[in-house]
Structure 1
């Protein structure tokens, strides 16, 4: 509905809705006031929110009046302390909605010294369907919200169960292909770092196909290990690759459903004592955080929104040793040939560092540490 980041929505966008007579429907609802005082008002609000979450997500716009579904006045409303209002809404939904909802975004847009427009963005939920007060499920269509019937509720539960199986099966297929050297590009042999970012919107029967254009700028698609870098365009998507002496050591690829695959065989080629592969834990964390900014930039360009499933693996690293944040080589080595890390779901890339920190913590555990070693200065 708003073709921009939520934080950048301003009064011009609200005026655009009015001037172009953008109607209420599946993805947007207009409200003149926001009242949460009575039990019935709180229930109605929770029903509005869950109707978006149980369908395809959308926006609630408070402080505008409508006639026959289109805005006729942008009057604004006195909402008081906005931080208090946001907390009130979060508490209300936590108390009234199951399972718990994530990814709600809220902001106020001032129109004068006293009045504001208040907008709530609700993401499509992949952990629902959500129920209000343990009794009622709601969805949305072009006429607004409606109460779901039994068959629709059952279908939505089955859709979400099937969604996670589809994601798991897709990721396992990609792992097997990379291990068999059948990834998106032919790579030089060696131990492998693999990161997959899987938007939940890329799965299911209504997944869209992106118009990716061309990856003209390596700053947007840089692989983990950067040496000679050039772009590739193929049937399955686009990206950039690292090549040294005509061999490819890694790539950063996005397919036409918005799924990112980053594979690297350069960083882990540092040879330690005894000709064993050395895993530099701080470097891996740093490289993950750097590439996350590029992924987020591309998703913004292509209009791909969260939630995102993050999956990370180290492949063919048996007997590797570690370097800690003090540059010390540990005495432990990896017994497993492949390390498949627990996945994490994030709503946006401001949460990515918690994932990279989790990767680092688990690598330190694998290196024999109960916690991260203290960084000392020489």
Structure 2
């Protein structure tokens, strides 16, 4: 795969670097000199896409001649209608695979200074794997020397691995929540409810490698832009057992943190979410969702996306939002005529988890992504959707 998490960041210089360094085809990279214009060419290409989707994902580079498997020369491609040709190709490829690759298939045209384009087609590892090619009904996998049909043992393993992937990601989230509940956390003790956001790339579990500490520290600098309920300022990332962590500056009272794990997963915790309400007992407090919803939309998720890009972690990923609440936690709910209620969550709920959200890419609007997850907590008190006004300015 070309070393850029953001496909739209790939430039002609990156392509020429492949040639200068003699980068060879691999399990995640394949060169194609010609554009697959005909039906048979696209059917053959579907085998490559199938193999990438069933394995680790990867990039297909059209307009690159190879010699002995190494990038050798850029051969510019010319198009009468570039957008139409890209749409026709991706649509055809989706139709040639079963189940369809609904997401995780993105084409990026790289303009060349001398004219023409090179097309990079990025295929994400698919959570719906294994796929097969409808033309020949074969399942394909990607190896270091190219694509190859799976035998019966490979097919059985692929089905088992596809089922296990989602389970592993959910177990990672659940184990993390248990550690937070036990206060096995990289910050001082905090009291009261917490909102926890996990972004777990599929590659965190589809690959067995881990990111080096130096890369984690460099990428973790992006997490310093995270702001919490009280606009706290994050300290520089520091190394810990799980990777690197950013915590609030020592003079801040807020107890949130951001953990960047060695496998590329990110854990963002917002704490100190309580405030005193008129319906509380003396000394009691209630949870105000605005204290984590607005920071997560305006700063938290964008910072996570920038961190993953800096770490060269490519989509797809799963976003999972959870809440750890006390035995009696009230939620501030607006009512007509400028009234407000403070409704208690059901007493048996100590941990609430929204369904995982699949991120095909990292360019989606944060509010569009997070809105359905925010709604889950509101649903627990009988409100359909979040009541937070995301357009309103934060008070000074």
- TM-score with structure 2 length normalisation? 0.83
- Whether the 8 Å CA contact 2:53–2:123 is kept in 1: the answer is yes
Q: Which residue of 2 aligns with 1:315?
A: 324
Q: Which residue of 2 aligns with 1:356?
A: 370
Q: Which whole-Å CA distance do the structure 2 matches of 1:110 and 1:251 have between them?
A: 41
Deviates more, 1:187-196 or 1:320-329: 320-329
For residues 69-122 of structure 1, the C-alpha deviation after alignment (integer angstroms, 9 at most, x for no partner) is: 334432312233222122212321232112222222212223368632121111
- Whether the 8 Å CA contact 1:210–1:302 is kept in 2: the answer is no
Alignment of 1:130-279 (within 5 A): 130-133=131-134, 135-203=137-205, 206-211=208-213, 212-213=216-217, 219-220=224-225, 222-223=227-228, 225-227=230-232, 229-231=234-236, 232-242=238-248, 249-266=255-272, 268-275=273-280, 276-279=284-287
Note closer, same or farther for the CA distance 1:235–1:373 as it changes in structure 2 (3 Å cut). Answer: closer
Q: Which residue of 1 aligns with 2:107?
A: 106
Q: Which whole-Å CA distance do the structure 2 matches of 1:217 and 1:114 have between them?
A: 36
Alignment of 1:299-338 (within 5 A): 299-317=308-326, 318-324=328-334, 329-330=340-341, 332-335=343-346, 336-338=349-351
Q: What is the DSSP-based 3-state SS (H/G/I as helix, E as strand, rest coil) of the residue aligned with 1:305?
A: coil
Q: Which whole-Å CA distance do the structure 2 matches of 1:117 and 1:98 have between them?
A: 28
For residues 331-374 of structure 1, the C-alpha deviation after alignment (integer angstroms, 9 at most, x for no partner) is: 53322343221111213332343331113333443443345669
TM-superposed CA distance for 1:292, in Å, is 0.8
Note closer, same or farther for the CA distance 1:328–1:285 as it changes in structure 2 (3 Å cut). Answer: farther
Deviates more, 1:322-331 or 1:1-10: 322-331
Note closer, same or farther for the CA distance 1:193–1:220 as it changes in structure 2 (3 Å cut). Answer: same
Note closer, same or farther for the CA distance 1:23–1:161 as it changes in structure 2 (3 Å cut). Answer: same
Q: What is the DSSP-based 3-state SS (H/G/I as helix, E as strand, rest coil) of the residue aligned with 1:18?
A: helix
- Whether the 8 Å CA contact 1:224–1:250 is kept in 2: the answer is no
Q: How many residues align?
A: 375
TM-superposed CA distance for 1:328, in Å, is 5.4
Note closer, same or farther for the CA distance 1:80–1:153 as it changes in structure 2 (3 Å cut). Answer: farther
Which runs of 5 or more residues in structure 2 are unaligned? none
TM-superposed CA distance for 1:312, in Å, is 1.2
Q: Which residue of 2 aligns with 1:10?
A: 11
Which runs of 5 or more residues in structure 1 are unaligned? none
Note closer, same or farther for the CA distance 1:216–1:83 as it changes in structure 2 (3 Å cut). Answer: closer
TM-superposed CA distance for 1:221, in Å, is 5.1
TM-superposed CA distance for 1:324, in Å, is 4.6
Q: Which whole-Å CA distance do the structure 2 matches of 1:365 and 1:235 have between them?
A: 37
TM-superposed CA distance for 1:205, in Å, is 6.3
Note closer, same or farther for the CA distance 1:28–1:114 as it changes in structure 2 (3 Å cut). Answer: same
Deviates more, 1:361-370 or 1:96-105: 361-370
User: In the alignment, is residue 286 of structure 1 matched against residue 294 of structure 2?
Assistant: yes
Q: What is the DSSP-based 3-state SS (H/G/I as helix, E as strand, rest coil) of the residue aligned with 2:279?
A: helix
Q: Which whole-Å CA distance do the structure 2 matches of 1:159 and 1:374 have between them?
A: 40
Q: What is the DSSP-based 3-state SS (H/G/I as helix, E as strand, rest coil) of the residue aligned with 2:178?
A: helix
Q: What is the DSSP-based 3-state SS (H/G/I as helix, E as strand, rest coil) of the residue aligned with 1:285?
A: helix
- Whether the 8 Å CA contact 1:313–1:341 is kept in 2: the answer is yes
Q: What is the DSSP-based 3-state SS (H/G/I as helix, E as strand, rest coil) of the residue aligned with 1:274?
A: coil
- Structure showing greater relative contact order (alpha-carbon pairs closer than 8 Å, 6 or more residues apart): 2
Q: What is the DSSP-based 3-state SS (H/G/I as helix, E as strand, rest coil) of the residue aligned with 2:244?
A: strand
RMSD after superposition: 3.0
TM-superposed CA distance for 1:248, in Å, is 5.9
